[in-house]
């Protein structure tokens, strides 16, 4: 009787689990869609809890159409996710890393802040989306103030773009030195590591970002790929930082990896009939 040998493979280690709390962006270039694609490319198990639906309006200069998700639905998503993967779930990979993107209203900010309180998350990466085009100015200001008061203190890592860095720091950013000063100021206000993004907004051949965590200040540079911002770059940068932190990277290491990931994604951007291109998260491949 002939015996048949079989290969028995050991089970793969469970991937790190990460959550994005963000809006859905209908064209797929930004928001939760960009986050999930970034998570997959970087080898973590991604979950999205949606806060709003954003659809660009091709009949109104491609401005945002913004529809918030009901607060109870947001709370239900967060409850289900933390019950399935939280510290008391018994899951092999515990959810301790979260990325926060578009929240969009003071009510949503309060719901999310309540769910994230208590220090259960080791890493809270905040992409501080302060303005949603299409919102009334007064509502946008209320949202900005609520985000700064309730979400910023929870963050362990913040990734503001040029406008957001000016708003959070209260400083005008015109060059690399003022971008450095803004990163330092935001760290002082939040206690979080900061990756302040100059991107294509600052003059010069390089897209420049500044990392600061209270000890290390480093300027991250990559040659500009065009002079126009690409949809999804900010979301994907913050999502890449989130994925790397979940895998155990130090904050500066996560920032460097995220910068390289986004640069490759911009270089391999996806064009459409919209007046903007979208970053491709598969670009590094």
Q: Give just the sign of the alpha carbon dihedral 203, 279, 147, 185.
A: negative
Element (H, E) at 65: strand 63-68
CA distances from 265 to 46, 97, 200, 226, 250 (A): 19, 23, 15, 13, 22
Q: Do 147 and 183 contact (CB within 8 A), yes or no?
A: no
Question: pLDDT by residue (tens digit) across 20-61?
Answer: 999 999 999 999 999 999 999 999 999 999 999 999 999 999
Instruction: Give the 3-state secondary structure of residue 142.
Output: helix
Q: Can you tell me whether residue 49 is helix, strand or coil?
A: strand
Strand 63-68 relative to strand 17-25: parallel, antiparallel, unpaired? unpaired
CB 31 within 8 A of CB 132: no
DSSP class of residue 11? Answer: P
Q: Please, what sign has the CA dihedral across residues 119, 120, 125, 128?
A: negative
Identify the three-state secondary structure at position 101.
coil
Q: Is 37 helix (H, G, I), strand (E, B) or coil?
A: helix
Q: What is the DSSP string of 174-212?
A: -SHHHHHHHHHHHHHHH-SEEEEEEETTSSSSEEEEEEE
% the chain with pLDDT above 90: 81
Q: How far apart are CA 18 and CA 85, in angstroms?
A: 10
Quote the pLDDT of residue 139: 53
Looking at residues 252-276, what average pLDDT do you find?
A: 96
pLDDT digits (tens, 9 = 90+) for 104-146: 999 999 999 999 987 789 999 999 987 654 444 445 788 889 9
CATH ID of 17-268, from 3.20.20.140, 3.40.1190.20, 3.40.630.10, 3.40.50.10700? 3.40.1190.20
d(C-alpha 211, C-alpha 158), whole Å: 10
Specify the length of the chain in residues: 285
User: In the numeric block, which tokens belong to residue 118?
Assistant: 């208590």
Higher pLDDT, 110 or 7: 110
Q: How far apart are CA 74 and CA 96, in angstroms?
A: 19
Q: How many C-beta atoms lie closer than 10 Å to residue 242's C-beta?
A: 32
Q: By CB neighbour count within 10 A (0-12 exposed, 13-18 middle, 19+ buried), where does 244 fall?
A: buried
For 216-253, how does the pLDDT look when each residue is reduced to its tens digit (9 = 90+)? 999 999 999 988 889 999 999 999 999 999 999 999 99
What pLDDT, on the 0 to 100 scale, is given for residue 138?
A: 45
Reported pTM: 0.92
Domain regions of the chain by residue span: 17-268
């Amino acid at each position: 009787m002939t015996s048949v040998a079989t290969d028995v493979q050991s089970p793969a280690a469970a991937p790190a689990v990460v959550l994005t709390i963000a809006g859905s962006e209908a064209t797929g270039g930004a928001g939760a869609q960009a986050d999930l694609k970034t998570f997959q490319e970087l080898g973590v198990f991604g979950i999205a809890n949606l806060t709003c639906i954003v659809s660009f309006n091709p009949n109104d200069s491609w401005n945002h159409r913004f529809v918030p998700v009901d607060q109870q639905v947001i709370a239900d998503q967060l409850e289900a996710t933390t019950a399935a993967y939280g510290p008391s779930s018994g899951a092999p990979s515990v959810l301790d890393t979260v990325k926060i993107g578009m929240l969009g209203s003071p009510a949503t900010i309060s719901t999310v802040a309540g769910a994230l309180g208590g220090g259960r998350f080791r890493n809270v990466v905040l992409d501080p989306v302060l303005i949603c085009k299409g919102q009334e100015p007064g509502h946008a200001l209320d949202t900005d103030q609520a985000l700064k008061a309730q979400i910023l203190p929870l963050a362990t890592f913040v990734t503001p773009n040029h406008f957001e860095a000016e708003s959070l720091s209260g400083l005008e950013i015109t060059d690399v030195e003022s971008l450095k000063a803004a990163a330092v100021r935001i760290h002082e206000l939040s206690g979080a590591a900061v990756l302040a993004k100059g991107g294509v907004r600052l003059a010069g051949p390089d897209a420049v970002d500044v990392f600061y965590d209270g000890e290390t200040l480093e300027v991250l540079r990559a040659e500009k790929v065009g002079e126009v911002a690409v949809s999804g770059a900010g979301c994907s940068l913050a999502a890449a930082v989130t994925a790397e932190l979940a895998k155990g990277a130090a904050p500066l290491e996560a920032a460097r990896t995220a910068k390289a990931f986004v640069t490759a994604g911009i270089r391999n951007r996806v064009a459409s009939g919209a007046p903007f291109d979208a970053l491709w998260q598969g670009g590094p491949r």
